[in-house]
A and B are shown apart, each in its own frame.
Chain A
């Protein structure tokens, strides 16, 4: 298919149009709004068969997806920041009921102070809700990840909701050249929705979400954990299948010029793209540096991360979120992953880009030079004005 110029939100809406979910619930919030607005146009134009529901809040929006999914429908929604926070209770319920809801999150800072720009504090706050989290570097990945999200969520060995994360404004609003797939290719890839115990099967009545006492609650949580761990291989498999139809090969993480790199930085989302430029610039000056883009944050690919970071002289973990009183959430997992490595590469944390603070090539260059010179603290606050 020919290349198109579109922003990340439009690309996600386009992927939904091609998939034509049974139900889309919507509640607008910047920087996600373009997704549900664009989709509303598809609905109004009769280009999709979706039941499009305008909700009165994000809590309701997620509840509608839960109800629809339990009833046997393929359901999707989108949100950001405070909207995701308002869904809190229902996020856990979607996951524990093992409903394959797909939600795009346009990553935006949480209030307060109120701020509409990019950071990962919204999704990181939902880290333990039981949702799979995939992060996109650019518009193409936002589109590709959106399509793959449905296949991953609906896999019979997974059956968990998926959060398709893209950086607010940086990816959601920036227009880039991207290449969509043909409608029928997408539809065939995603396949028909297979419901498990659909609630609308009145011949076999059953109860969803009943009270769970101490004698079984733990087992249900254990099952969720096992499904998450299954998802690692399923995501690899879905990514391989996607490569066959798109020519674009994704893995759980992507290494850039890491082979002989002494110093490596790892990040989620759009910053991983900027890092590639920095790596090229520094390589041209003779620095042995490389970068890692982590696509998947939950389930966390501990073994893959440990492997690519083994034997380095220094590792910088970039977090666009902060766990107050500790450090970045990505840092906690990356450093934990390396603990079992023979070499235990020294690792430092950089908190960056909170509330949309721009992080450019020069900022990231400093990260690598700090690593080389051994001048980084354990936790660093990149570019903060003191």
Chain B
């Protein structure tokens, strides 16, 4: 911390696990997923894991559970589940 509230290193947001804020979590049904990556484009928290052009899941350490991915998914492959429920 500096007196001016300047963060002296880049990329420190990674250390801050906003996933703890979440009350609902997105769950992916990969059988329905067509890898259109709409979820990746719309996610405001960079929490969609992508490898080799394929959607590979959710980065739960940082996903706040906003549900935008579930809303945007054209195949309804993502559902929001209450935390604490299966």
Contact = CB atoms under 8 A, between A and B. Distances in A.
Interface string B1-37: 1111111111010000000000000000000000000
B2 A216 contact: no
A202 to B, nearest CB: 11
B7 to A, nearest CB: 4
Contact of B3 (A98, A204, A205, A209): A98
Interface string B32-58: 000000000000000000000000000
B10 A220 contact: no
A285 interface: no
A196 B4 contact: yes
Nearest to A222: B3
Nearest to A219: B1
Contacts of A339: none
Interface string A182-206: 0000000000000011000000111
Q: Chain B contact residues: over half helix, strand or loop, or mixed? A: loop
A177 to B, nearest CB: 42
Contacts of B7: 206-207, 210
Contacts of A220: 1, 3, 5
B44 to A, nearest CB: 14
Nearest to B8: A206
Contact of A216 (B1, B8, B10): B1
A208 B6 CA distance: 5
A336 interface: no
B4 A205 contact: no
A159 B4 contact: yes
Interface residues of A, number: 19
A212 B5 contact: yes
Nearest to A212: B5
B1 A97 contact: no
Nearest to A215: B1
Contacts of B3: 98, 159, 220, 223, 227
A129 interface: no
Nearest to A216: B1
A227 B10 CA distance: 27
A209 B9 contact: no
Contact of B2 (A197, A205, A227): A197
Contacts of A197: 2, 4, 6, 8
Interface of A: 96-98, 159, 196-197, 204-210, 212, 216, 219-220, 223, 227
Interface of B: 1-10, 12
19 contacts: A97-B4, A159-B3, A196-B4, A197-B2, A197-B6, A197-B8, A206-B6, A206-B7, A206-B8, A206-B9, A206-B10, A207-B6, A207-B7, A207-B10, A207-B12, A210-B7, A212-B5, A216-B1, A216-B5
Given A159-B3, A159-B4, A207-B6, 17 more contacts: A97-B5, A196-B4, A197-B4, A197-B6, A197-B8, A204-B8, A206-B6, A206-B7, A206-B9, A206-B10, A207-B10, A207-B12, A208-B6, A220-B1, A220-B3, A223-B3, A227-B3
